[in-house]
């Protein structure tokens, strides 16, 4: 197994061992692609949600929140196009009996070519040393250009075939590229078929009167159908946004990358309603804003990139993903979509009601255009968690496992540790705990040697360990140990709150966006 694969395995086992993520219904051997968040995971997830909410809703006076239901009138999904078009192309391997997304097989093939490009860059970097200009190299090296050309040709052809519903050509492409089943190596493929991703259910007691419903596959439609409610009751003027977080459900064909692709997951979406014709500038605006939000967490600029869509969804006139370097390579973390007036117009048609805005400047009514930002909370969790998990070699030749989470997101901000379980130290520690508890999520631990306790806190990403010792009795100071540098310093008890606040307050982190 390669290093990336090893790291991903460590991420999954660490998430379980330290109470972040469990397989759902594990005592019954689990349910495929459904996960539960444990005591630490629930906190981390809540903090990510809050970090998003604060940046999107609290810090923008023209964006407001919404909490719409998971169940919606079934016509919603007819209008939105999900009943007819929310499909993924699936293909089965006749020998291994494994099922795949045909488009993902082709994308993975292209990702391998991309790795070849990265190798060329690495080699050239070594050869040319400081004089190496990566951009110039990517633009001029013949081998690299040929690889890029190949990727582009393949993806363009696939986009065209999918758009034209030419599934035979998608299969032909897979055959021409000689793509084999990654598990068995077999090239014995079935035809490509479309598969609808929505989960159906029923509302009502008796079989005759029951109504067919869907579990929402995205939170966005809850926003669209409430557009006028919010606009009128909030007296909102265009441009304005509605944001919400909540569960979404998709019957994914292949779901085997831990919490990257789940069947039940949570989205954080914002629909920004704008004047038709201004979508170009807002698209640019939100791409930049959202990337800056990610960068504010300090997880490395080199770990993000934009991917502009070749194949546009049925509702979009422009779309890009913010991709993140997950343990298995660059993949979509967030989507920014220019959705035109597709959704509101469709709902107007199906509901027979106007969903328009009266623009006093223009003195006319129009159906607003929409710019959407949509991020998976679980995917963001995986990005943060996998990027933070490190195995460090220490000076004394030992190693430690540390979760270097952005402090603002850490589940526990500080652990209060009496050095020994006697001499009144636990009592002082508990007093400090009770005071800090008002402002932060803090933990108390008095078991085992203090070094072991530090390691336990490192493993769950606690930024501060606060040790109470005999000197505390004399001068009211404690030892603060920093997770990342492992440096220790003496701090007066009365200064603890400010010290922690400086490091973990959302304000200090979001200021950089």
By CB under 6 A, name the binding residues for ligand ATP. Answer: 218, 250, 252, 261-262, 265, 267, 332-335, 374-376, 378-379
181 or 218: CB nearest ligand ATP: 218
Q: Toward ligand ATP, which CB reaches closer, 375 or 414? A: 375
Nearer to ligand ATP, 315 or 357 (CB): 315
Question: DSSP code of 71?
Answer: B
Strand partners for 306: 322
Nearer to ligand ATP, 123 or 314 (CB): 314
Going by DSSP bridges, is the β-strand pair 414-418/464-468 parallel, antiparallel, or unpaired? parallel
List of E strands, 284-429: 304-308, 318-326, 329-340, 357-359, 364-366, 369-376, 389-393, 399-403, 414-418
Least Å distance, CB 77 to ligand ATP, is 14
Query: Between the CA of residue 70 and those of 172, 221, 335, 472, 494, what are the distances in Å?
Result: 39, 10, 21, 53, 47
246 versus 335: smaller Cβ distance to ligand ATP: 335
Any residues with CB less than 8 A from the CB of 303 and at least 6 apart, and which?
A: 324, 325, 387
Question: Which of 291/468 has CB closer to ligand ATP?
Answer: 291
Please check whether residue 95 is in contact with residue 188, taking contact to mean a CB–CB distance below 8 angstroms.
Answer: yes
Q: Which is nearer to ligand ATP, 331 or 404 (CB)?
A: 331
Q: Which is nearer to ligand ATP, 344 or 382 (CB)?
A: 382
* Three-state secondary structure of 466-502: EEECHHHHHHCEEEEEECCCCCEEEEEHHHHHHHHHH
Maximum Cα interatomic distance, the chain, rounded to a whole number of Å: 80
Q: How far is the CB of 493 from ligand ATP (least distance, A)?
A: 43
Q: Minimum distance between the CB of residue 109 and ligand ATP, rounded to whole angstroms?
A: 16
- Closest residue to ligand ATP, judged by C-beta, is 376
Burial bucket for residue 56 (CB in 10 Å: 0-12, 13-18, 19+): buried
The least distance separating ligand ATP from the CB of residue 448, rounded to whole angstroms, comes to 37
Nearer to ligand ATP, 307 or 503 (CB): 307
372 versus 469: smaller Cβ distance to ligand ATP: 372
Select from 224, 87, 281 the least CA-distant residue to 167: 87
Q: Supply the minimum distance, in Å, between the C-beta of residue 377 and ligand ATP.
A: 8
Q: Measured between alpha carbons, how far is 226 from 81 in angstroms, rounded to an integer?
A: 18
- Residue 374: phi and psi, rounded to 5, are -140, 120
Least distance from C-beta 144 to ligand ATP, angstroms?
26
State the nearest-atom distance from the C-beta of 41 to ligand ATP, in Å: 15
- Count CB atoms within 10 A of the CB of residue 377: 21
Residue 458: name the closest of 394, 366, 501, 374 by CA. Answer: 394
Least Cβ distance, residue 371 to ligand ATP (angstroms): 14
Report the nearest approach of ligand ATP to the CB of residue 389 (Å): 19
| Dist. CA 154–CA 173, nearest whole Å | 8
Nearer to ligand ATP, 147 or 293 (CB): 293
Q: Assign residue 260 a region (left: φ > 0; alpha: ψ between -120 and 50; beta: otherwise).
A: alpha
Closest distance to ligand ATP from the beta carbon of 108 (Å)? 13
Q: Output the DSSP codes for 192-261.
A: -EEEE-PPEEEESSSTTT-EEEEB-S-SHHHHHHTHHHHHHHTT--SSEEEEEEEEEE---S---SGGGS
CA distance 44 to 301: 22
Smallest separation, CB 239 to ligand ATP (Å): 22
């Amino acid at each position: 197994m390669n290093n990336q694969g090893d790291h991903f395995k460590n991420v999954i086992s660490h998430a379980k061992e330290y109470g972040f993520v469990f397989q759902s219904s594990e005592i019954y051997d689990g349910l495929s692609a459904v996960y539960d968040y444990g005591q630490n995971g629930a906190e981390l997830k809540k903090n990510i949600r809050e970090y998003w909410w604060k940046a999107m809703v609290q810090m923008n006076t023209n964006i407001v929140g919404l909490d719409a239901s998971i169940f919606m009138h079934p016509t919603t999904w007819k209008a939105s196009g999900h009943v007819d078009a929310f499909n993924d192309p699936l293909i089965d391997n006749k020998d291994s009996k494994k099922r795949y997304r045909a488009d993902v097989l082709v994308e993975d093939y292209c990702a391998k070519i991309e790795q070849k490009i990265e190798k060329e860059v690495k080699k050239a970097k070594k050869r040319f040393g400081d004089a190496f200009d990566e951009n110039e190299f990517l633009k001029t090296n013949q081998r690299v250009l040929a690889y890029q050309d190949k990727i582009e040709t393949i993806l363009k052809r696939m986009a065209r075939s999918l758009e034209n519903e030419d599934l035979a050509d998608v299969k032909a492409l897979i055959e021409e590229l000689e793509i084999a089943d990654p598990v068995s190596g077999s090239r014995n493929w079935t035809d490509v078929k479309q598969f609808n991703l929505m989960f159906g259910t029923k509302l009502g007691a008796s079989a005759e009167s029951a109504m067919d419903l869907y579990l929402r596959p995205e939170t966005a439609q809850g926003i669209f159908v409430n557009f006028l409610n919010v606009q009128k009751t909030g007296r909102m003027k265009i441009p304005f946004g509605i944001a919400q977080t909540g569960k979404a459900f998709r019957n994914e064909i292949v779901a085997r990358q831990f919490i990257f692709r789940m069947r039940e997951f949570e989205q954080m979406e914002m629909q920004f309603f704008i004047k038709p014709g201004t979508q170009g500038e807002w698209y640019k605006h939100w791409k930049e804003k959202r990337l800056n939000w990610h960068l504010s967490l300090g997880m490395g600029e080199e770990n993000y990139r934009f991917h502009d869509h070749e194949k546009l969804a049925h509702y979009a006139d422009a779309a890009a993903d913010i991709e993140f370097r997950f343990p298995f390579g660059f993949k979509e973390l967030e989507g920014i979509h220019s959705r035109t007036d597709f959704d509101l117009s469709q709902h107007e048609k199906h509901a027979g009601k106007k969903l328009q805005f009266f623009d006093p400047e223009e003195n006319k009514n129009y159906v607003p255009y929409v710019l959407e930002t949509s991020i998976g909370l679980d995917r963001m969790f995986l990005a943060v968690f996998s990027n933070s998990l490190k195995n460090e070699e220490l000076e004394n030749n030992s190693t430690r496992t540390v979760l270097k989470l952005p402090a603002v997101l850490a589940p526990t901000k500080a652990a209060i540790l009496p050095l020994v379980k006697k001499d009144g130290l636990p009592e002082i520690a508990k007093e400090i705990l009770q005071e800090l508890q008002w402002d932060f999520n803090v933990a108390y631990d008095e078991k085992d040697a203090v070094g072991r306790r530090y390691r336990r806190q490192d493993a769950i990403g606690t930024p501060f360990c606060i040790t109470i010792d005999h000197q505390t009795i004399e001068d009211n100071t404690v030892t603060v140990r920093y997770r990342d540098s492992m440096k220790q310093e003496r701090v007066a008890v009365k200064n603890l709150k400010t010290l922690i606040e400086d490091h973990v307050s959302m304000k200090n982190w979001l200021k950089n966006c």
